[in-house]
Structure 1
Amino acid sequence: MPAEETTKTIKAYCLRLLARREYSRKELLNKCSLKGFQKSDVLPVLDELTDKGWQDDARYAESYARQRIQKGYGPIAVQYELSQNGVQIDTIQPLLHSVADSWLDVLEQVYHKKYTHDRRLSRQEWAKRSRFLMQRGFPADMVSALFTHLAIRFPKF
């Protein structure tokens, strides 16, 4: 296939993908590679799409972060997933502070969706709930702050 024809095919494929949802540059590159396109052919097309504003990693990161927060994931999980998808860390940090109004509010919503509000918990139940929240990507100090905020205690031995 001639180079010009390949470029048009790659561009059309990328635009079809971007019409459905936002993609990071890395995701588009991976998808094009899976389709059999050469990286050297894909990179100039991605540069053109970025220059025209059709592909933007910052816009992708914001969209992705909002989706993950709505599903109850914390800042650690969102940051990790975005970095795996090729978004630069300097884009992620300010975004995480601006997207979620308050991470403690998000954490509290996740907690109340999963658990009833008990003021007294056994050590095992407290640990189980803490592990669940940390697996969702919330840091341990934030989980402790939530339990303090909700006045949840476990019996002393």
Structure 2
Amino acid sequence: MSYADDNEPLDPDAERLAVRKRAMDLLARREHAPAELSAKLAKRDHDRDIVAAVLDELIDDGLLSESRYADALVSSRASRGTGPVRIRAELAAVHVSDFEIDRALEDAEVDWHALAEQVRRKRFGAEMPQDFPAKAKQMRFLQRRGFDGDQLQAAFDD
């Protein structure tokens, strides 16, 4: 529970307003997953029941959306050259539903095969690796970036 300056607990209405204001401040900076926002607010020693109620209100008001968060993260990470496997893991880590993850990845207008090739070229140049150790190194790099086997293969097709 939050406390006023004189260490007396805030009344529930004042705390609810404080939680909502803090949540709105965080959402003004960027989209958040509901679980991520809940964790940030809980770190501020706000009552969990009040946090849950405020988050429900924000979802009902359309100010907090798991779907919008998933779309924003997919777009952001893909533009930085991150593959779908890693993006999926990042979304799952903040408890975005599998349905929303699948939808966001499918709705993203990203050619993952072309992106894998583009990322490989940017890091290692246009020339294809001449020996197995060099190719393995490049494949490991793309795997760490979150590309799957088909996308790796596409990156090395002539």
Are residue 86 (structure 1) and residue 112 (structure 2) matched? no
1:102 corresponds to which of 102, 107, 111: 111
Name the aligned partner's letter for residue 115 of structure 1. F
Superposition RMSD in Å: 1.1
Name the SS of the counterpart of 1:73 in structure 2: coil
Q: Is the 8 A contact 2:70 2:101 kept in 1?
A: yes
Change beyond 3 A, Cα 1:43–1:114: same
- Structure 1 residue runs without a partner (length 5+): 152-157
Partner of 1:38: 47
1:98 deviation in Å?
1.6
Q: Is the 8 A contact 2:120 2:155 kept in 1?
A: no
- Structure 2 residue runs without a partner (length 5+): 1-9
Worse overlay, 101-110 or 40-49: 101-110
1:1-157 equivalence runs, <5 A: 1-148=10-157, 151=158
Aligned residues: percent identity? 30
* Runs of 4+ displaced beyond 6 Å: none
Q: Is the 8 A contact 2:113 2:150 kept in 1?
A: no
Q: Is the 8 A contact 1:69 1:100 kept in 2?
A: no
Change beyond 3 A, Cα 1:119–1:112: closer
Aligned residue pair count: 149
Q: Partners of 1:59 and 1:67 in 2: how far apart?
A: 12
1:120 deviation in Å?
4.9
Name the aligned partner's letter for residue 122 of structure 1. D
Q: Partners of 1:88 and 1:33 in 2: how far apart?
A: 21
1:33 deviation in Å?
0.8
Q: Partners of 1:92 and 1:31 in 2: how far apart?
A: 22
